[in-house]
Chains A and B, each alone.
Chain A
Amino acid sequence: MELSLGLPLFYFLLLGFAVLMYVLLDGFDLGIGILYPWFNTDAEHDHLMRSVSHVWDGNETWLVFGGVILFGAFPAAYAAIASQFYLPIVLMLLGLIFRGVAFEYRFKSDSSRRWWNTAFAAGSSLAAFCQGLMLGTLVQGSSDSLLNQSSLNWLSPFSLFCGFAVMAGYALLACCYLVMKSRGELQQKAARYGQRLLLAVMLAMLLVSLWTVFIEAEIRLRWFGGWHGLWFVPLPLLSLLAARLLFRDLGRVQRQFQAEQEVQSRHEDRPFWLAASLFLFAFAGLVVSVFPYLLPRQLDYLQAAAPDSSLQFMLPGIFIFVPLICAYTLWGYRIFAGKVEDFQEGY
Chain B
Amino acid sequence: MELDVALLSRLQFAFTVSFHIIFPSITIGLATLIAIWEGLWLKTGNPQYLQLAKFWIKPFAITFGMGVVSGIVLSYEFGTNFSKFSELAGAVLGPLMAYEVLTAFFLEAGFLGVMLFGWQRVSAKMHFFATVTVAIGTWISAFWIIAANSWMQTPQGHQWVNGKLEVASWLEVIFNPSMPYRLVHMLLAAMITATFVVMATHAWYLKRGEHQDFGRKGLSMMLWFALVLTPLQAWVGDLHGLNVKEHQPVKLAAMEGIWQEKETNVPLLLFALPDMKNETNHAELALPGVASLILTHNWHGELQGLKSVPAADRPYVPMVFFSFRVMVGIGVLMIGVALVGNYLRYRGTLYQANWFLTPVSWLAPAGVIAVLAGWYVVEIGRQPWLVYGLIRTSDVVSPLPAERVLFSLTLFVLAYSLLFAVYLYFMRKLIKKGPAPVEQLQQQRIGVKASGYALSFTKQLADESEGTH
Q: Do A and B bind each other?
A: yes
* Nearest A-chain residue to B161, judged by Cβ: A307
Which residues of chain B come closer than 8 Å to A301, judged between CB atoms? none
In the complex, are the beta carbons of B419 and A90 less than 8 A apart? no
Task: Determine how close the nearest CB of chain B comes to the CB of A107; give it in whole angstroms.
Answer: 10
In the complex, are the beta carbons of B61 and A306 less than 8 A apart? no
In the complex, are the beta carbons of B458 and A343 less than 8 A apart? yes
Option from B98, B113, B170 in Cβ contact (under 8 Å) with A71: B98
Task: Determine how close the nearest CB of chain A comes to the CB of B468; give it in whole angstroms.
Answer: 14
Cα(A335)–Cα(B398), bound, Å: 45
| Cβ of B11 under 8 Å from chain A | no
CB contact under 8 A between A63 and B94, given known A89-B80, A344-B462: no
In the complex, are the beta carbons of A79 and B87 less than 8 A apart? yes
In the complex, are the beta carbons of B117 and A64 less than 8 A apart? no
Which residues of chain A come closer than 8 Å to B76, judged between CB atoms? 67, 82, 89, 93
Which residues of chain A come closer than 8 Å to B319, judged between CB atoms? none
Which residues of chain A come closer than 8 Å to B100, judged between CB atoms? 68
For window 61-105 of chain A, which residues contact chain B by CB distance below 8 Å?
Answer: 61, 63-65, 67-69, 71-73, 75-76, 78-83, 85-87, 89-90, 93-94, 96-98, 100-101, 103-105
In the complex, are the beta carbons of B459 and A343 less than 8 A apart? yes
Task: Determine how close the nearest CB of chain B comes to the CB of A284; give it in whole angstroms.
Answer: 25
CB contact under 8 A between A329 and B68, given known A68-B98, A346-B120: no
Which residues of chain A come closer than 8 Å to B426, judged between CB atoms? 104-105, 108-109
Interface size counted on chain B using CB atoms at 8 A: 81
Task: Determine how close the nearest CB of chain B comes to the CB of A114; give it in whole angstroms.
Answer: 14
In the complex, are the beta carbons of A310 and B92 less than 8 A apart? yes
| Cβ of A231 under 8 Å from chain B | no
For window 93-113 of chain B, which residues contact chain A by CB distance below 8 Å?
Answer: 93-95, 97-103, 105-113
Task: Determine how close the nearest CB of chain A comes to the CB of B66; give it in whole angstroms.
Answer: 7
Cα(A80)–Cα(B86), bound, Å: 9
| Cβ of B265 under 8 Å from chain A | no
Cα(A313)–Cα(B95), bound, Å: 7
Which residues of chain A come closer than 8 Å to B458, judged between CB atoms? 343, 345
Cα(A60)–Cα(B109), bound, Å: 9
| Cβ of B430 under 8 Å from chain A | yes
| Cβ of A341 under 8 Å from chain B | yes
| Cβ of B3 under 8 Å from chain A | no
In the complex, are the beta carbons of B430 and A108 less than 8 A apart? yes
| Cβ of B69 under 8 Å from chain A | yes
Cα(A100)–Cα(B167), bound, Å: 36
Which residues of chain A come closer than 8 Å to B401, judged between CB atoms? 149-150
Cα(A100)–Cα(B64), bound, Å: 11
In the complex, are the beta carbons of B119 and A317 less than 8 A apart? no
In the complex, are the beta carbons of B73 and A97 less than 8 A apart? yes
Which residues of chain B come closer than 8 Å to A108, judged between CB atoms? 58, 62, 426, 429-430
Cα(A69)–Cα(B105), bound, Å: 14
Task: Determine how close the nearest CB of chain A comes to the CB of B425; give it in whole angstroms.
Answer: 9
| Cβ of A184 under 8 Å from chain B | no
Most buried by B among A80, A86, A325, A335: A86
In the complex, are the beta carbons of B73 and A75 less than 8 A apart? no
In the complex, are the beta carbons of A335 and B114 less than 8 A apart? yes
Cα(A322)–Cα(B107), bound, Å: 11
* Nearest A-chain residue to B57, judged by Cβ: A347
Which residues of chain B come closer than 8 Å to A96, judged between CB atoms? 69, 72
In the complex, are the beta carbons of B429 and A79 less than 8 A apart? no
In the complex, are the beta carbons of A72 and B98 less than 8 A apart? yes
Cα(A196)–Cα(B40), bound, Å: 54
| Cβ of A214 under 8 Å from chain B | no
Which residues of chain B come closer than 8 Å to A87, judged between CB atoms? 404, 407-408
| Cβ of A321 under 8 Å from chain B | yes
Cα(A55)–Cα(B110), bound, Å: 8
In the complex, are the beta carbons of A94 and B161 less than 8 A apart? no
Which residues of chain B come closer than 8 Å to A90, judged between CB atoms? 80, 408, 411-412
In the complex, are the beta carbons of B86 and A75 less than 8 A apart? yes
Which residues of chain A come closer than 8 Å to B339, judged between CB atoms? none
CB contact under 8 A between A57 and B114, given known A82-B79, A343-B462: no
| Cβ of A39 under 8 Å from chain B | no
23 contacts between A and B (CB under 8 A): A54-B116, A54-B118, A60-B72, A71-B75, A71-B94, A78-B86, A79-B90, A83-B398, A86-B80, A86-B400, A86-B404, A87-B404, A94-B412, A104-B65, A306-B90, A310-B91, A314-B99, A317-B102, A328-B107, A336-B121, A346-B116, A347-B54, A347-B119
